[in-house]
A and B are shown apart, each in its own frame.
Chain A
Amino acid sequence: MFRPRIIPVLLLKNQGLVKSIKFKDYRYIGDPINAVKIFNDLKADELVFLDILASKENRTISLEFIKNVGEEANMPFAVGGGIKTIEQIRKIIGTGAEKVIINSYAAQNPDFIRQASETYGSSCIVVCIDVKKSFFGKEKTYILNGSQSTKFSSLEFAQIMEEKGAGEIIIQSIERDGTMLGYDINLIRRISESVSIPIVALGGAGEIIHLKKAYQEGFASGLAAGSMFVYHGSRNAILINYPNKKDLNTIF
Chain B
Amino acid sequence: MIKNVIIIIDYGMGNLNSVKRKLSRIGVNAQITSNPKEILEAGKLILPGVGHFSKAVENLKRTGIWGVLNESVLIRKTPILGICLGLQLMCNQSEEGDVEGLGWFDANVVRFKVADKIKYKVPHIGWNNVSVQKESPLFKGILNDSEFYFVHSYHIISNNQKEVLTRTIYEYNFTSGLSKGNIFGLQFHPEKSHDVGEKIFYNFINLLKCSDPE
Contacts and interface: CB of A to CB of B under 8 A. Distances in A.
B48 to A, nearest CB: 11
A75 B194 contact: yes
Nearest to A93: B15
A192 B129 CA distance: 24
Contacts of B170: 2
A93 B50 contact: yes
A96 B21 contact: yes
Most chain B CB within a 10 A radius of its CB, from A75, A121, A193: A121
Contacts, number: 100
Given A76-B149, A76-B189, A221 B50 contact: no
Given A93-B15, A96-B17, A2 B124 contact: yes
B89 to A, nearest CB: 13
A199 B121 contact: yes
B50 A192 contact: no
A219 B118 contact: yes
B21 A70 contact: yes
A94 B48 CA distance: 12
Interface range on chain B: under 10, 10 to 19, 20 to 34, or 35 or more? Answer: 20 to 34
A3 B170 CA distance: 10
B14 A93 contact: yes
Contacts of B124: 2
Question: Is chain B's interface secondary structure helix, strand, loop, or mixed overall?
Answer: mixed
A93 B10 CA distance: 13
B192 A196 contact: no
Contact of A123 (B117, B127, B128, B153): B153
B123 A70 contact: no
Interface string A181-206: 00000000000110011110000000
Contacts of A222: 125-126
A111 interface: no
Contacts of B149: 45-46, 75-76
B18 interface: yes
B61 interface: no
B169 interface: yes
B52 A118 contact: yes
Interface of B: 14-18, 21, 50-52, 55, 85, 117-129, 149, 151-153, 169-170, 189, 192, 194
